[in-house]
Amino acid sequence: MYLLGEQSALADALINRLQNLPAQWLEGLAPCAETLELGATDDLMAQLPGDQMFLLTDGVINGCIGTRALFYWQEGDLIGLQRGDDWADCRLRNDGPVRLLPYRRSDVIQHLYAEPGRADQFLEYLLGQMAILAHAVAELKPREFRSTNGFKRVDAGETLIQQGDAADHVFVIIDGHAEAYVDGHKVGEVPKDEIFGAMAVFTGEPRNATVIACEPSTVMLIPGDQFLSLTRTNPKIAHSLIESMARRIDQLNKQISQLSSNRN
């Protein structure tokens, strides 16, 4: 889901990247019916079963609040994620024909979380859309009121997170690479697509490490309150993050064991 209007080059690049993700998650999962081909309509969701999600394979769908179109989905996006009372004021409209490949909602969720890689891609998709929307909203605000939401380009050697600082954002490296340090000692790598800074947002404690870009990088910033809201409304996303953190802790434990062995 993307806001209508001109986007920055960074937002455009991320939009193109996100479009490829749903087809990757759905690989190996059989559709529950034949492709739907629908003509123009002012209320698309009224024509679609509530227990299904749909891969948009052709056409553009607009999301409207009242009579105003504010955002859109395009080929490659997943339709039907946004349902429930929070979306009661949102109406989906397509001005031309669309093609939708249907999948049963329960099958999609089960398929996503059967494989950690797919769950990580799903989280990346949701966080990416959130960052794009936050970035677009920030661009619409007067400059003196803009926040640091959205995207940030940093140079090699620039500090992304400072140990001891308050945690107000979660970060994702869209392009580039960084390194993590504790008390001045390097403790790990932060590669492209890695989510970092979430632990301190969860606990409310100060940052426990410093993260420094080791090459020119593009970073996506997600406000902590929005990130927490996302994990609360979708516990499976929180579960995926916990698994990711557990893997990182395991890696750190192995490093500590290796260092202890070398000293002995």
Indicate if the pLDDT at residue 11 is higher than 70.
no
CA 1 to CA 73: how far, in whole Å?
Answer: 5
Are residues 182 and 252 located together in one domain of the fold? yes
Q: Are residues 164 and 248 in the same domain?
A: yes
Strands 210-213 and 52-58: unpaired
What pLDDT does residue 215 have? 92
Residues 99 and 16 in one domain: yes
Q: Is residue 136 part of a domain?
A: no
Do 174 and 238 lie in one domain? The reply is: yes
pLDDT at 252 > cutoff 70: no
Q: How many residues does the chain have?
A: 264
* 206, part of any domain: yes
Please check whether residues 257 and 153 belong to one and the same domain: yes
- For residue 170, which amino acid is it? V
CA 254 → CA 184, 188, 191, 211, 259, distances in Å? 19, 11, 19, 20, 9
Sheet of 68-73: strand order equals: 2-3, 68-73, 61-65, 90-93
Pick from 77-91, 139-153, 177-191: least confident:
139-153
Residue 14 or 44, more confident: 44
**Which residue, among 160, 155, 148, has the nearest Cα to 210 in the 3D structure?**
160
Query: Is position 140 within any domain?
Result: no
In a domain, 193, yes or no: yes
Return d(Cα 179, Cα 231) in angstroms, integer.
Answer: 26
258: number of Cβ within 10 Å: 10
Identify whether residues 158 and 226 lie together within a single domain.
Answer: yes
Question: 93 and 160: one domain?
Answer: no
Q: Which domain does 109 fall in, by range?
A: 2-115
**65 and 156 fall within a common domain:** no
Tell me which of 73, 94, 115 is where a domain ends. 115
Q: What's the pLDDT band for 54 if we cut at 50, 70, 90?
A: very high
Question: 174 vs 180, which has greater pLDDT?
Answer: 180
The strand pairing partners of 77, in sequence order, are none
Higher pLDDT, residue 85 or 253: 85
In a domain, 45, yes or no: yes
Classify residue 96: in a domain, yes or no. yes
Q: Do 227 and 183 share a structural domain?
A: yes
Confidence of residue 221 (pLDDT cuts 50, 70, 90): confident
Whether 30 and 98 share a structural domain = yes
**Does a structural domain hold residue 222?**
yes
96 C-beta neighbours (distance < 10 Å), count: 10
Question: Within this chain, do residues 59 and 103 fall inside the same structural domain, yes or no?
Answer: yes
CATH number of the domain bearing residue 251: 2.60.120.10
Question: What's the pLDDT at 8?
Answer: 63
Asked if the model's pLDDT at residue 150 lies above 50, the reply is yes
- Asked if residue 183 is part of any domain, the answer here is yes
Number of domains composing the chain: 2
The mean predicted confidence, pLDDT, of the chain is 78
